[in-house]
Amino acid sequence: MKSQYQVVVIGGGIVGCSVAYHLALRGLTNVAVIERKELTAGSTWHAAGGFHAINSDFDVAALQKYTISLYPQVEEESGQSIGLKMSGGLELAGTPERAQWLKSELAWLRAMGTDAHLLSPQEAVEMVPIIDPTGLTGALFDPHEGNLDPNGATHAYAGAAKRRGVEVILRNRVISLSRLPSGEWSVETEKGTITAEHIVNAAGLWARRVGNMVGVDHPLVPMPHHYLITEAIPEVAAIDGLMAAVTDLEGFTYLQREGDGVLLGLYEQNPRHWAVEGAPWDFGMTLFPEEIDRIMPELSIGFERFPVLQNVGIKRWVNGAFTFTPDGNPLIGPVEGIPNYWAACGCMSGFSQCAGIGLALANWIVDGDPGLNAFGMDVARFGPYASDDRYLRDTTAQFYARRFVMAYPNEDLPAGRPLKTTPCYDDLAAAGARFGVNWGLEVPLYFAPNAEFEENDTLGRSNAEPLVAEEAGAVRTAAGGYEIAQYARYEVSGAGAEAWLDHLVASHIPEVGRIRLAPMLGDAGRLMGDLSVARLEDQRFWLTGSYYLQTWHQRWFRQQLPDSGVALRNITDDWMGFSLSGPASRTILERLAHVDVSDEALPFLAVRMLDVGTARAVVGRISLTGELGYEIVVPTNQHRTLMQQLRESGQESGLRLVGDRAIDSLRLEKAYGIWNAEFTQAYTPGMCGLDRFVAFDKDEFIGREAALRERKEGAAQRLVLLEVDAGDADASADDGIWIGDRRVGFVTSGAYGHHVKKSLALAYVDRDVIESAVDLDVYIVGEARTARILPAAPYDPTSSKLRG
Ligand SMILES: Cc1cc2nc3c(=O)[nH]c(=O)nc-3n(C[C@H](O)[C@H](O)[C@H](O)COP(=O)(O)OP(=O)(O)OC[C@H]3O[C@@H](n4cnc5c(N)ncnc54)[C@H](O)[C@@H]3O)c2cc1C
C-alpha cells in the first residue's frame, strides 16, 4: 500500500472492481481498491450471477447492454475464466394482458437492437422441458441473457485492473474518512492512514455506514433474498449444451441451469429488511437460515410451474442480503457539498450493471461528466426525504415485491405516501383529486366526480380519460387552475447575480419585469435544465425548474457558484401557487387583483408583484397550455387562501381545477416539451428545438462551443410532433419509430389531444426522415400504428391565444 492515491475505491465487490477497471481504461492508474476481507466478501460471492438488459429506464438499459457486451473483453484481458453462459432467457406470460405487455417489451428490445422474439407456450416448453405450460399465454426469448460465475467475474475485473496498474489491497477495512486542509481525503485503514484525491463508496452492504463517515445518508437498505439449487434433474441433464434461463413473471420466480440441476430464485410478496443502517462491520461471508414459511406461497407456485422440483433433492439453499434503493436502480455520482466523494452503491443487479456504473463513474471522475445520460442511476435523483427510515422500508419493500409484477403506465403505487403535501392537499382531495407523486410530493393527476370512481389499470386509455377531456375542455373554453407546487424555484441575488446567470444559462438575461426561457447547458452542450428566468429586481432573479431535479440542479449550481457576490436560495417550499389559464383567466385575475392586468399592463412574458386576493403574489404571464395564462405564486402559508379565492372568483367564469393529465393533453396540442420527456440530460438544444432560445451572440456561457458546433453541423435527430392513427392506446415514452426494418426514432411522450381530437406524440426522429416526410410506424403496446409528422402544432399554431 502506498501513502497516496489519486482514487481509493472502497469495496472489492463486482461494482468496486469494475469501477477500478474503468478508471484504468481512462488512464488513471494511481488507483487502489481497498477491501475489508476478500474480493466478493459482500453480496457478490453468493449471487446467482444472472444478467439481462431490461430496465424501466432506457438509458440504464443501454448501460446494462454495455455491461453484458464487455464480459468477454474482461475475461480475455485478465486471463481469468468468468464462466460466461450466454444461454438466452425466456420470460413467461400468465395472463392475456401480460402477453400483450411482452409484445411491447419485444418492440422495446428491438429498438435497442436486440433480436428477441415471441414464442408460444409450447415453444417455450421445447426450449426448457421442465416448464408446465398450464395457464401460460405466451413467452419472449431474449438471446442476450445468461449467467456467469460471480467470483470469477469479480476476480477478472480486479485482475484486468491490476494489469493496468491498479492496486488491490485485501483484509484492510477503511475505518474513517476526513478532509485534509489540502482538500484531499485522509483515509484511515486497518493497515495505516493514506491520502486520496477521490474516494469511491462501492461498499455494497456497508455503503450506508461508509456514507455516514462523510456525513451522507444514502437511501439504500439491505434485504435478504432466497434461491435454491437442486440435485441433478434427468430432463436437464439430457439437454446437450446451455438451457435458457426462465423468468415466470406471474409466478415471482426465476430459474437457470446449474450443472445438471437448476437454480430457482424468488421475489416473495412478503419481503423483509435486514441491518437497515448497514451490515455490521464483523459480518462475514455469511448466509441466513432459509425462511421457508415466509417464502412458501411463491415457492409453491414455482414448484407448480416446474413440477420436477417436487421430486428432486435440494442440494443447497442460499439466503443472502443485497441492497435496494426506492426505485431499484443504483446510486452513483458526486454528492453536493462533498467534493471528490463518489457514490457507486445501492446496486441490486450487479452483474447487469457493473460495467455501466464503472463506465459512467470513470468518465465523471476524469471528465467531470458521465458522458451519457446517467440520471436513472444518479445519486442526485433523490432528495433527503428518501433516506427516511419508514419511506425507505416501504418503497424498497414495494419494489422488491413487485420485481416481476406487471406495471401499468397509469398506475400509482402507494408506498411511502403521502409524504409531502401542500396546504391545499385536503381541499384538492375534497374536490376529487386523484394524486400521483413527484419527488415525494402529492400532485393532482385528474379530478374524479365522486369517491366511488375507480380508475382501471390498463395498457390503453383508462376510464379516467373522459374526466381528463372535460378538464382540458374547460381550459380551452373557460379557465383551468393547476397547482404549481411541483415547480422548483431558486432565488439568485447579489451584486454578481446577473453576470453569474449570464454565464450559467445559454439565453440572454431578461430585463427587470420580464421572464425568459433559458436553456442551461453542460460543457458538452447537453441540457442541464430548461429554466425560466424571471427578473424581479435589478439583481434579484427567480429561476423556475423541475421539482424533482432539486438535488441535481443545486449540485450543478453550487459547482458553478463564485465564492462571493451571488446568493442562491432554494425557495421551492416557501412559495407555491397556481397556474391559471384559459380565455377567462384574465377576467378571473382582474376580479382578484386590484390593478390593471390588461395586455398592455401585463404582456406576455412579463412578471410583476401584485396583490391577488389577500396575498402579495409574484404573477408571471406565462402558460403551458397554449392559452392566455398566468402563474400566480404566493408565500406557502397563503397558498390555500389563494386557491379558495381563485375558485370563488372563477366560479361564474367556469373555472375548473385541472391535473397533470389534462396539462399533458393540452401541451401536446401545442407541441410543447417538458423536462423528463422531451428535455433531458441526453439531448442538445439543436435536437429539442430549445436552440431558438440560445443567445449565440453572447461571448460566453457554459456549453457555448458545443452549441456553436451543433448549430454548424446540425443535429442528427430532431424533436417533431406526430399524429398517430392510434387505437385505444396512445404512444408513450421510448416507443420505437420505424420505417420498415429501420428504427428512425423514438417517442418521448404521447397523449390524446382532446380538443383537436387526435392522438399525438412528441418524438425524436432522424433528420433525413423529417425531410422526406414519409409515413412512419410507431409501436404502441407492441402494435405498429401509422404516424405522420405534423408541420405545425394542431392547436393555434400562431400562438395568438397565448399572446392574446
Ligand atoms: C441471493 C442473491 C442472489 C443474487 N443474484 C443476482 C443475480 O443473479 N444477478 C445480479 O446481477 N445480481 C444478483 N444479486 C445481487 C448482487 O449480488 C449485487 O448486485 C452485487 O453483488 C453488488 O455488488 P457490490 O460490489 O455493489 O457490493 P458487495 O458485493 O456487497 O461488495 C462491497 C464490498 O465492500 C467491502 N467493504 C465494505 N465496507 C468496507 C470498508 N469500510 N473498507 C473496505 N472494504 C469495505 C465489503 O467487504 C464488500 O466486499 C444477488 C444477490 C443475492 C443476495
Nearest protein CA to atom 12 of ligand 1, as residue: 349
Does ligand 1 have an atom closer than 6 angstroms to the CB of 322?
yes
Interval 637-680: pLDDT, tens: 999 999 999 999 999 999 999 999 999 999 999 999 999 999 99
Interval 81-136: pLDDT, tens: 999 999 999 999 999 999 999 999 999 898 888 899 999 999 999 999 999 999 99
Does ligand 1 have an atom closer than 6 angstroms to the CB of 47?
yes
Spatial separation of the C-alpha atoms in residues 361 and 200, rounded to whole Å? 9
Interval 293-337: pLDDT, tens: 999 999 999 999 999 999 999 999 999 999 999 999 999 999 999
Distance (Å) of CA 444 to CA 243, 277, 659, 666, 675: 48, 34, 5, 16, 18
| 154-158, 309-313, 770-774, 779-783: least confident range | 770-774
Burial class (CB in 10 A: 0-12, 13-18, 19+), 79: exposed
User: What does the H/E/C string look like for 17-60?
Assistant: HHHHHHHHHCCCCCEEEECCCCCCCCCHHHCCCEECCCCCCHHH
- How confident is the model at residue 594, as a pLDDT? 84
Considering only the C-alpha atoms of the chain, give the largest distance between any 2 of them, rounded to a whole number of Å.
86
d(CA 109, ligand 1 centre) in Å: 28
Interval 375-390: pLDDT, tens: 999 999 999 999 999 9
Does ligand 1 have an atom closer than 6 angstroms to the CB of 351?
yes
Q: Which atom of ligand 1 is nearest to the CA of 205?
A: 30
- How confident is the model at residue 804, as a pLDDT? 77
Helices H / strands E in the chain, number of each:
21, 37
Spatial separation of the C-alpha atoms in residues 290 and 293, rounded to whole Å? 9
Which residue type occupies 379?
Answer: V
Distance (Å) of CA 249 to CA 90, 309, 634, 766: 10, 18, 48, 35
Pairing of strands 607-612, 338-345: unpaired
Q: How confident is the model at residue 518 (pLDDT cuts 50, 70, 90)?
A: very high
Which residue type occupies 649?
Answer: S
Q: How confident is the model at residue 290 (pLDDT cuts 50, 70, 90)?
A: very high
Does ligand 1 have an atom closer than 6 angstroms to the CB of 67?
no
Angle at 511 between CA 509 and CA 514, to 5 degrees: 95
Please report where in the chains the cell 385541472 appears, as a residue.
Answer: 658
Give the residue-averaged pLDDT of 766-777.
90
- How confident is the model at residue 774, as a pLDDT? 86
Interval 453-462: pLDDT, tens: 999 999 999 9
Spatial separation of the C-alpha atoms in residues 535 and 492, rounded to whole Å? 10
Interval 189-209: pLDDT, tens: 999 999 999 999 999 999 999
Q: How confident is the model at residue 773 (pLDDT cuts 50, 70, 90)?
A: confident
Mutational test site, ligand 1, from 8, 9, 22, 44, max ligand atoms within 8 Å of CB:
44
Nearest protein CA to atom 16 of ligand 1, as residue: 350
d(CA 763, ligand 1 centre) in Å: 38
pLDDT mean across residues, the chain: 97
What's the predicted TM-score (pTM) here?
0.97
Does ligand 1 have an atom closer than 6 angstroms to the CB of 225?
yes
Please report where in the chains the cell 431499484 appears, as a residue.
Answer: 328
Grid coordinates of 508: 440572454
